Structure 1
Amino acid sequence: MALLLLSSTCLAQSTDIKAVTDAVENMRLAMLSGEKSSLEKVGLPSLSYGHSSGRVENNDEFVNAIVTGKSRFQTLNLSDQTVQVDGDVAIVRHILEAKTNDSGKPGDVKIGVMLVMKKDNAGEWKLLARQAYKLPH
């Protein structure tokens, strides 16, 4: 009986890890596309979105910054990603590398990111919090 319980727990966690990974990929694609409807599906209304510069945005500010071109991604790649699920919350860490064109100013970015994802009432994984940080040299 204990083996069956352990097996079903591992299967549920594996399913959640895949769902979280898919939600992060959908976020990456929405950020690249800049499509408002896609971006609005990424975060919870209570989103706290922290940049490596220290600027913090709420959900509306996060969406509008990308839609208006204040934050624009030409390329956006995520690597070294880990996902840890604990109930209806997941912690995701990865390295973000991107070519940007924020407000018409081209740039290159390589930062660390920690995401906190939460499963909403509909069973969808949504972004609750994000904090970017500068990587050590």
Structure 2
Amino acid sequence: MIKKLFLALSFFTVSMLFAQKNNDQQSVAEASEKLRLAMISGDKAILESLILPELTYGHSGGHIDDAKEFVEKLVSKKSNFLSIENTNQSIQIVDKTAIVRNHLYAQTHDLGKEQGEVSLDILYVWQKTKSGWKLLARQAVKAEKKK
């Protein structure tokens, strides 16, 4: 009887952990999509709601923005995304941290520059907080352009 109870309790615990991991992955995917849309719109309030004050946002050229610079560039259209397409996304949850990798293809028209395209492989680090998943770090590397 005790063995059956222990097995049932173990099964229930494993099931709950698996369900929580799936919920976390879905929540991270939703936060990633909100970030994509906010980067296109330049909506300051949404951008600020999705990031931590400690954000480090690494560009493929080597420059690293802090949280304030990241938001300001998008709001001012100094960094202006006309479209962003994320593909091949993977999400790995480790405790209260999510590691997200994807390929980003975007059309840009940054302030004072010609319209252009970027093709990047991205690593995002999200942290689970009381108010949801927040972006802590991002690093981009140049990838082959999409044809």
* Short-chain TM bin: over 0.9
Could you tell me the TM-score, scaled by structure 1's length? 0.95
1:40 aligned counterpart, secondary structure: helix
Q: Greater CA radius of gyration, 1 or 2?
A: 2
Write the distance in 1 (CA, Å) between the matches of 2:17 and 2:48.
31
Name whichever of 65-74 and 98-107 sits farther off: 98-107
Q: Give the Å deviation of 1:6.
A: 1.1
| Map of 1:109 onto structure 2 | 118
Misfit runs of 4+, over 4 Å:
none
Distance in 2 separating the partners of 1:49 and 1:69: 16
The one of 36, 52, 55 equivalent to 1:44 is 52
- Gapped runs of 5+ residues in structure 1? none
| Structure 1 partner of 2:66 | 58
For these two proteins, the number of residue pairs brought into alignment is 136
Determine which of 84, 90, 96 is the counterpart of 2:104: 96
8 Å CA contact 2:119, 2:144 repeated in 1: no
Task: Name the aligned partner's letter for residue 94 of structure 1.
Answer: N
User: Contact (CA 8 Å) 2:50, 2:135: kept in 1 or not?
Assistant: yes
* Percentage of pairs with the same residue: 40
Please report how far the alpha carbon of residue 136 of structure 1 lies from its aligned counterpart in structure 2 after TM superposition.
5.7
SS at match of 1:64: helix
Following superposition, the deviation at residue 4 of structure 1 comes to: 1.4
3-state SS, counterpart of residue 49 of structure 2: coil
Equivalence for 2:135: 127
CA deviation string 1:116-135 (max 9, x = no partner): 0001133x000000000112
